[in-house]
Chains A and B, each alone.
Chain A
Amino acid sequence: MRSRWIRTTLAGLMAVAVVGLSGCGNDSTDTPSPPSAGGSSAAVTGNVTVFAAASLTESFTEIGKDFEAANPGTKVIFNFAGSSALATQINQGAPADVFASAAPKNMATVTDAGNGTGTATTFVKNQLVIAVAKGNPKGIKGLSDLTKPGLKVALCAEQVPCGAAAKKAIDAAKVKITPVTLEQDVKGALSKVKLGEVDASLVYRTDAKAATADVDAVEFPESAQAINDYPIIVLKKAPNAAGAQAFVDYVLSDKATSLLTEAGFQAP
């Protein structure tokens, strides 16, 4: 049990540090805001702390602003990181209200530990594309083109969601691709294409879309075999349960969904 204690303490310290940092420079958020005059539903106020997957950074920041505008007196505080790290922090007691994961596996880590309320809802899906240099100079049309000799391919490591998805898609295509590198995350795989160090990499459509200035995205049919669900949930120990529920409801609203699909996600 001693090891358990150490793990808890370390992760707790980590989570405290993360939350502490995200609150930096926002002294006003600690003071309760005045109640909103004539809010849409139940009056929602205070801070809503959202732990969200790194791939949601751009869209959720937008959604957070819209949510704050629709609910005066609220303030959304985000902690963006890898889903597995976030799951660990939540299970070690980080004071979060909402968890939005990039993979059901990491969501299961949280719900299995009894830290969720109800069942998680899938709010978007994400799909793999082949990211290639602008103008697709190597003429890549599908996964089978990635087996060409001399072509350099970057994949995510299997331990991270984009790598697991890539493996599924490649297996479904029954091709054998030998990558030159197994990146630690999807941004790493994408940056290798941006810098021209590899000719192609498998990344999420949303990531390719965010980098249209530098890369082109090539869709391929086998990606349908490796669709990534993004589940969201209100956490059991949420300090602001009402705010959390309001935020989740907002993410599931049409307005937020259209913003997410614009960023390259698919509606569930």
Chain B
Amino acid sequence: MLANPYVISLMTIVLLFTFLGQSWNLMLGIGGQLSIGHALFVGLGAYSVGVLYVKYGISPWVGLLTGMILAGSVGASIAWLSFRFEVRGIYFALLTIAAAEFARIMFSGWEFVGAMQGLFFPAPTGGIEISMLRGDARFYYFVALALAALGIIGTEFISRSYLGYVWRAMRDDESAARALGVRTFQHKILVISISAATAAAGGGVLALVQGSIFPDSIMGMGLSVDVLIGPVVGGLGTTFGPLVGSLAAIPLNHLMSALGDSLRIPGLNNITYGVVLISVVWFLPDGIWPAIVRLCKAIQAPPTAWLWQSRKVEE
């Protein structure tokens, strides 16, 4: 399987979006805050890596760190501004989309970062350089694999920690959590900035994998949607949901757009993707992963209960 370059590059994207999905999942599935503008954080991470590397030759490791700090602070300030003034629920979601669109337009007009013409990384030389995070497609596949594993383990770790309990309490009933002494305002800012910082890390690697950065594709509405499709299709708030969802959705989308191209039907992938999204939400409301879990339980599969404690979101 891994000999085929197409499969490798597709799996790299699937794993990267698993990681990005985990970061989004942390925010809604555990923290209870809906973001539909995650592209903002992904884009900030990508541009931090891109600008530092392409313009100054600084290692992407530094870029990743810069991006995480930058996106974390932007996320924290958006959260601070909105919760300060009691902007919440759907209004908060619309604020995230507005912030992302604003940033996208600003970056499209900013000559220093390449504006609409984009930013290009130098072509890979073929050798693997860990210190510069450069290598061939297979190298990036393992980077993405490590990142996805880190995301899954990290989410599991956070959700079992003190913070996980506090955040879920806050998600389920904010006033009750407050009454028990949880400083919900600070905790909401914390969960959003952690989610933003991890999304930026994913965005930085995504930019390296793609070799170029364009404001419309890295900060556009489309990317925000791609980020949240994995967790929602796979199962919100579950540990493996984002992985299962990305595995199902991304190859389907690629397949359909290839089919549409070869048949010369330009909208085919949109139609199938749309129909699939609606049907998943319609027939498997809590996602694919919980459905698999139910199926396994029904046929009495061996008990590995720690894998599938479901953490559903109820708004």
- Asked if A and B bind, the verdict is no
Measuring CB to CB, which residues of chain A are less than 8 angstroms from any residue of chain B?
none
